[in-house]
Amino acid sequence: LSSFISRSSSSSSRLSDFVDAKTELQDIYHDMSTYISGFLTLIEDNVLLKDLEMLEQLRIFASKVEAIEKVLLRNRMKVAFFGRTSNGKSAVINALLHEKILPSAMGHTTSCFCQVQANGSDEAEHVKIEQEEQHLELSALNELASAHSPRALKPRTLLQVNMPRSRCPLLDYDVVLMDTPGVDVTAQLDDCLDNYCMDADVFILVLNAESTVSRVEKQFFKEVASKLSRPNLFILNNRWDVASNQEPEMEHLVKDQHMERCLRLLIDELGVYSNEEQARKRIYHVSALEALQLRNGCNRNPTTQTQERYLEFQRFENDFSNCLAESALRTKFGQHLLSAQEMLTQLEATLISPLIVKVSQLMKENRERRTDLYREMGDRERQIEGRSEALEMRFQELSELTIGVGQCVLK
Ligand code: GDP
């Protein structure tokens, strides 16, 4: 059973590509920052190289690199979950996290936007209302996020659920999961939708397989699709355990009907996929509750049907993880990689090359000065040599003269 359940982690390979790419880009920007600050010090400290225009340019590059380094640090993959209240959005998130973190119960309704994410390196699990400093216990989540509680937060609030990285593999791969109030509420919160959800890499529409997709859900997704060009959209027909058990002999028929309606929604009404084959791969029939029960050890004897539904849940998890990593790699890092290349080319053309010319000019000038000096020294040497020769001759003349004088005196 455990190997059957753990096969779900196969989805992690593409997610680790995102983490690896992030580390690599961070290294590139860190190197660029060191490189630029090295040049800044060189120019600032050297009177001969000082060039105010160059200094200004380098400072602009340095602050741009610093800003991108901060953005890179914050970059994570984001998945947003939508659907009518009680369709099982929180249950799907819990199943993906392998444990019941978000309140998910009959009658419970998530009242606000709820973001589950990995926390800072040493922090303990906690809940935090965005814009507020206070760290609250995880148990406060029930009251804060439940629409029926007196302490319920306003729908516009963003509640952050911070978990240690090691606790859930998905969070360790820098994935952020955004639970939303039911679509009927969310549809009224256009600004929140823009602020909290539109930067998601993947959107998951959680439907209730016991009923058909509602007009509100369709309308809501039309709005989402109109704001984004071809969002990555997945449809989960959740509570399939209940729906398929209602009339087991009709299971295939009901499934086909769901499939057809979802295909029409994705292709004709939302226009997010152009062909049926593509769209069909984005539609799943699952039971989030069963997936969670298998993962947290509450169900040790799954039936064949439960196992089949779990395999479908794993297929969903694998597909959306791949899509998430691919999309996030392109949208989050593509631009920063281009920026790094552009900055290096600009640095090379407008700063480094002229600087190298300047330095080599200075060296050449130095060399010329040295040759002059040698020449001057040579002249002086020759002068000295000439003088000493003359002196020697005079000395000889003098000694000859002396000898001559001495001989004269002796005579
Ligand atoms: P949300 O309002 O969309 O976040 O829905 P919840 O996750 O709170 O789920 C509402 C209720 O449906 C809870 O009692 C869940 O345990 C239950 N539930 C969610 N998913 C499933 C499922 O796949 N099968 C069954 N049988 N119950 C589910």
> What is the 3-class SS of the chain, one letter each residue?
CHHHHHHHHHHHHHHHHHHHHHHHHHHHHHHHHHHHHHHHHHHHHCCCCCCHHHHHHHHHHHHHHHHHHHHHHHCCEEEEEECCCCCCHHHHHHHHHCCCCCCCCCCCCECCEEEEEECCCCCCCEEEECCCCCCECCCHHHHHHECCCCCCCCCCCEEEEEECHHHCHHHHCCEEEEECCCHHHHCCCHHHHHHHHCCCCEEEEEEECCCCCCHHHHHHHHHHHHHCCCCCEEEEEECHHHHHHHCHHHHHHHHHHHHHHHHHHHHHHCCCCCCHHHHHCCEEECCHHHHHHHHCCCCCCCCHHHHHHHHHHHHHHHHHHHHHHHHHHHHHHHHHHHHHHHHHHHHHHHHHHHHHHHHHHHHHHHHHHHHHHHHHHHHHHHHHHHHHHHHHHHHHHHHHHHHHHHHHHHC
Mean residue pLDDT across the chain? 83
pTM recorded for the entire structure: 0.81
Whether 319 and 8 have beta carbons less than 8 Å apart is answered as no
Pocket test for ligand 1, best of 81, 84, 86 (most atoms within 8 A of CB): 86
For residue 405, the model assigns a pLDDT of: 40
For residue 381, the model assigns a pLDDT of: 58
Spacing, Cα 103 to ligand 1 middle (Å) = 10
Rounded to whole angstroms, what are the CA distances from 330 to 18, 203, 251, 308? 10, 16, 39, 33
Spacing, Cα 287 to ligand 1 middle (Å) = 9
pLDDT tens string 231-268: 899 999 999 999 988 887 888 999 999 999 999 999 99
Spacing, Cα 91 to ligand 1 middle (Å) = 5
| Ligand 1 close to Cβ of residue 22 (< 6 A) | no
pLDDT of 336 > 60? The answer is yes
> How far, in Å, CA of 182 to CA of 90, rounded?
11
Q: Which amino acid residue places its CA nearest to atom 9 of ligand 1?
A: 88
Spacing, Cα 89 to ligand 1 middle (Å) = 7
Beta bridge partners of residue 81, listed in sequence order: 179, 204
Pocket test for ligand 1, best of 90, 109, 296 (most atoms within 8 A of CB): 90
pLDDT of 293 > 60? The answer is yes
% of the chain exceeding 70 in pLDDT: 85
For residue 108, the model assigns a pLDDT of: 60
For residue 12, the model assigns a pLDDT of: 61
pLDDT tens string 303-316: 999 999 999 999 99
Read off the pLDDT of each residue in 105-132 and give the average, rounded to a whole number. Answer: 82
Read off the pLDDT of each residue in 317-340 and give the average, rounded to a whole number. Answer: 89
For residue 356, the model assigns a pLDDT of: 75
Spacing, Cα 12 to ligand 1 middle (Å) = 25
Q: Which amino acid residue places its CA nearest to atom 19 of ligand 1?
A: 88
Tell me which of 96-110, 227-241, 337-351, 367-381 is least confident.
Answer: 367-381
Q: How confident is the model at residue 106 (pLDDT cuts 50, 70, 90)?
A: low
Q: Cα–Cα–Cα angle for 55, 57, 59, nearest 5°?
A: 70
Spacing, Cα 86 to ligand 1 middle (Å) = 6
> How far, in Å, CA of 408 to CA of 177, rounded?
122
Read off the pLDDT of each residue in 379-385 and give the average, rounded to a whole number. Answer: 60
For residue 58, the model assigns a pLDDT of: 87
ipTM of the assembly?
Answer: 0.99
pLDDT tens string 6-30: 554 445 668 988 888 899 889 888 8
AA identity, residue 153:
L
% of the chain exceeding 90 in pLDDT: 37
Tell me which of 74-88, 278-292, 318-332, 355-369 is least confident.
Answer: 355-369
